[in-house]
Amino acid sequence: MTQKNILLLCGGGGDEHSISLLSANFFEAQLATLSHFNVLRVELNAQGQYHTQTGELCELTNSRQIRFADHSKTAWDVDYVIPCMHGYPGETGDIQSYFELINLPYFGCDSEASSNCFNKVTAKMWFSALGIPNTPYIFLNEFNQDAVQQTEQALEKWGSIFIKAASQGSSVGCYRVDTLEQLATSLEEAFKYSPYVVVEKTINARELEVATYEVNGEIVATKPGEIVCASNTFYSFDEKYAENSQAQTVIEADVDAATAKQIQEYAIKAFKGMKLRHLSRIDFFLTDENEILLNEINTFPGQTHISMFPKMLQNHGDDFAQYLSGNILAQLKS
């Protein structure tokens, strides 16, 4: 088999830059087991500059090449790219738009699907349109007295709320509010991260996750796993990635077969309905009344040592390297 040049593009310069580098380590290790791929890892920094692992400046041109700042070095032809970027500009769909402009095939969801899932306002509209239950919410588009009043009314109605920046991932710009004293400050902080804010009813529920992905031309939804947080905490950025995190992960949640099946069906419905591709982690709440609520969709889930997606995929019986290779080769043939 002729070797294909795979560009592993990571970083991005956003709030989740460092986590993207950790996930890139995992992808790099998996790709190293596949002899038919020749891999170049390139990092995109916050200044919009590309550089290799040795710090050599380069650029991805519209000729689908990596061209080096040292012009004496031969340009590297790119057959395919894996945009390993959590948050901006990967999960937002920005970098995918460039790939589409230069006709460069890439791994993961397309630009529109990525954008629709990343923006919590758009995502919730899609969930409702698809008939998938999700948490009660209101939208805000400006930090002003009217927004504060609407949020106060939501707090009074629901007792506890989450204020979330609409265009952030990994719980960045996300605040639980239980008292009026916390409200205005949390709302103002959320608006610093995004021009739109979602206010959701706090759901006291179990947090379940499903790895939903394509393998051999079929869409697979694994049995739900579970995130178990310490008492009175939520799965914040620190709880997800800090070394002293008290959160625990369970690869197969203890739920009855009917509930697991319904969650899997919702996950596949969301994957198909929102035109996702290759991979996603779809997160749900399961209340004490056994009510299932779709929380969010991650179009490029983490692949760190504590991440659920690769563990659930493996638990389902699939090999990550072969799953990755199969999707890449299928796309290159199409």
* Angle at CA of residue 80, ends 14 and 101, nearest 5°: 70
Tens digit of pLDDT for each residue in 56-110?
Answer: 999 999 999 999 999 999 999 999 999 999 999 999 999 999 999 999 999 999 9
Whether residues 187 and 209 fall in one domain: no
Query: Minimum mean pLDDT among 135-149, 211-225, 242-256, 308-322: which range?
Result: 242-256
| Residues 212, 121 share a domain | yes
Rounded distance between C-alpha atoms, residue 150 and residue 187, angstroms: 11
Kindly report, residue by residue over 78-87, the tens digit of the pLDDT: 999 999 999 9
Check whether residue 218 and residue 274 sit in a common domain: yes
State whether 191 and 214 are in the same domain: no
Q: Are residues 188 and 309 in the same domain?
A: no
- Give pLDDT tens digits for 36-60: 999 999 999 999 999 999 999 999 9
- 41 pairs with which residues across the strands? 8
Q: Kindly indicate the confidence band of residue 305, based on its pLDDT and cuts at 50, 70 and 90.
A: confident
- Span 274-298, mean pLDDT? 97
Residues 129 and 226 in one domain: yes
State the pTM of this model: 0.90
Task: Quick: pLDDT tens for 236-281.
Answer: 445 454 555 567 899 999 999 999 999 999 999 999 999 999 999 9
Domain boundary among 170, 201, 232: 201
Query: Could you tell me which residues come within 8 angstroms of residue 304 by beta carbon, excluding any fewer than 6 positions away?
Result: 19, 22, 23, 26, 241
pLDDT at 167: 86
pLDDT for position 171: 77
Q: What is the residue-averaged pLDDT of the chain?
A: 94
% of the chain at pLDDT higher than 90: 90
Q: Which residues contact 243 (CB under 8 A, 6 or more apart)?
A: none
* CATH code (residue 86): 3.40.50.20
Residue 78 included in any domain: yes
Determine the pLDDT at residue 247: 74
On whether both 208 and 316 belong to a single domain, the answer is yes
**How do strand 50-52 and strand 205-215 relate by DSSP bridges?**
unpaired
Q: Going by DSSP bridges, is the β-strand pair 225-228/205-215 parallel, antiparallel, or unpaired?
A: antiparallel
Per-residue pLDDT tens over the stretch 173-219: 999 999 999 999 999 999 999 999 999 999 999 999 999 999 999 99
Residues 129 and 231 in one domain: yes
User: 88: domain range?
Assistant: 4-107
pLDDT band at residue 229 using 50, 70 and 90 as cut-offs: confident
27 shares its domain with 47: yes
Note whether 237 and 291 are same-domain residues.
yes
- 161-171 confidence digits (pLDDT tens): 999 999 876 57
- Answer yes or no: do 122 and 267 share one domain: yes
Structural domains counted in the chain: 3
pLDDT of residue 6: 98
CB 85 within 8 A of CB 168: no
